[in-house]
């Protein structure tokens, strides 16, 4: 089996590279920091002995995505699993002060992710097998003043994945939507919360297991499904008054 992890320098993604390699799968490690991607691939090769290759990937370089996927498949073979792990939370909530920042957040988390998913889906659809894993966020379940640009991009990505799953189902290709709550990574560094934060290792195990079991939507940590159920149930006239 061959696996590609896009946005592989994320801690969750690094764990996934190792996890799939330990299961004996060839791994393509794609990240915009190609030197770091090469270090991850080399570590994977040393620890597992599997074929692991690194390459430069930028979610914003959308015109190049189909050619990049072709290059990935030349290196590790037709993809069985593609994990879209990249994400960008941006600098601010999106208060209109810097739309350039907001636009990058939208493009990385949604437009770039959809562009790459289309490129991967084309081959998997033709071969009538494969699994696309998209890492979205619980932030996409309801717009909140503290991070609505990031939330809207992740929410759009989750909706996109839902439609893609529906389209690819008859072709035998599975699409897993991962809605992460708090995981201890660079993205949440310094964040203060009373809600328990998951480890990247535990998150990667849950994601790989859900892909294997063909789960449609994984909330991780799982209690976030209930939290978001409550948050989604608050009437808008009350919700708009909250400071969330």
Q: How far is the CB of 167 from ligand NAP (least distance, A)?
A: 22
Q: Which of the ranges 70-78, 125-133, 160-168, 177-185 carries the binding residues for ligand NAP, by CB under 6 A?
A: 177-185
11 contributes a contact to ligand NAP by CB under 6 A: yes
Q: Which of the ranges 62-70, 121-129, 179-187, 235-243 carries the binding residues for ligand NAP, by CB under 6 A?
A: 179-187
**By rule CB under 6 A, what string of x and - marks binding of each residue 12-51 to ligand NAP?**
x------------------xxx------------------
- Name 5's bridge partners: 29, 83
Q: How far is the CB of 88 from ligand NAP (least distance, A)?
A: 4
Instruction: Locate 173 and state its tokens.
Output: 């290709």
Task: Give the residue with the Cβ less far from ligand NAP, 33 or 118.
Answer: 33
183 contributes a contact to ligand NAP by CB under 6 A: yes
Q: How far is the CB of 172 from ligand NAP (least distance, A)?
A: 26
Burial class from Cβ neighbours inside 10 Å (0-12, 13-18, 19+) for residue 67 reads exposed
Interface positions, 130-169, toward ligand NAP (CB under 6 A): 135, 137
* Three state DSSP letters for the chain: CEEEEECCCCHHHHHHHHHHHHCCCEEEEEECCHHHHHHHHHHHHHHHCCCEEEEECCCCCHHHHHHHHHHHHHHHCCCCEEEECCCCCCCCCCCCCCHHHHHHHHHHHHHHHHHHHHHHHHHHHHHCCCEEEEEEEHHHHCCCCCCHHHHHHHHHHHHHHHHHHHHHHHHCCEEEEEEECCECCHHHCCCCCCCCCECHHHHHHHHHHHHHCCCCEEEECCCHHHHHHHHHHCCHHHHCCCCC
Q: Which of the ranges 58-66, 141-149, 206-214, 236-244 carries the binding residues for ligand NAP, by CB under 6 A?
A: 58-66
Rounded Cα distance between 168 and 163, Å, is 9
Tell me which of 37, 54, 87, 221 binds ligand NAP, using CB under 6 A. Answer: 87
59 contributes a contact to ligand NAP by CB under 6 A: yes
Q: Which of the ranges 48-56, 93-101, 175-183, 217-225 carries the binding residues for ligand NAP, by CB under 6 A?
A: 175-183
Task: Give the residue with the Cβ less far from ligand NAP, 80 or 88.
Answer: 88
185 contributes a contact to ligand NAP by CB under 6 A: yes
Task: Give the residue with the Cβ less far from ligand NAP, 171 or 217.
Answer: 217
Interface ranges with ligand NAP (CB under 6 A): 7, 9-12, 31-33, 57-60, 85-88, 108, 135, 137, 180, 182-183, 185-188
């Amino acid at each position: 089996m061959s696996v590609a992890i896009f946005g592989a320098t994320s801690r969750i993604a690094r764990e996934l590279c190792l996890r799939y390699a330990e299961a004996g799968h060839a791994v393509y490690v794609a990240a915009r920091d190609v030197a770091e991607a090469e270090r991850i691939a080399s570590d994977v090769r040393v620890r597992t002995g599997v074929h692991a290759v690194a390459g430069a990937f930028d979610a914003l370089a959308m015109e190049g995505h189909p050619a990049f996927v072709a290059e990935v498949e030349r290196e590790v073979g037709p993809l069985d699993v593609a994990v879209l792990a990249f994400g960008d939370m941006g600098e601010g909530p999106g208060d209109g002060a810097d739309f350039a920042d907001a636009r990058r957040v939208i493009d990385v988390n949604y437009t770039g992710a959809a562009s790459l998913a289309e490129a991967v889906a084309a081959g998997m659809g033709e071969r009538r097998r494969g699994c696309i894993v998209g890492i979205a966020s619980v932030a996409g379940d309801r717009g909140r003043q503290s991070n609505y640009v990031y939330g809207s991009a992740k929410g759009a990505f989750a909706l996109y994945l839902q439609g893609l799953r529906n389209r690819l189902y008859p072709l035998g290709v599975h699409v897993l939507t991962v809605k992460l709550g708090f995981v201890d990574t660079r993205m949440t560094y310094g964040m203060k919360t009373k809600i328990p934060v998951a480890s990247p290792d535990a998150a990667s195990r849950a994601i790989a297991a859900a892909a294997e079991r063909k789960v449609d939507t994984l909330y991780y940590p799982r209690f976030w499904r209930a939290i978001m159920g409550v948050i989604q149930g608050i009437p808008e006239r009350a919700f708009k008054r909250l400071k969330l």
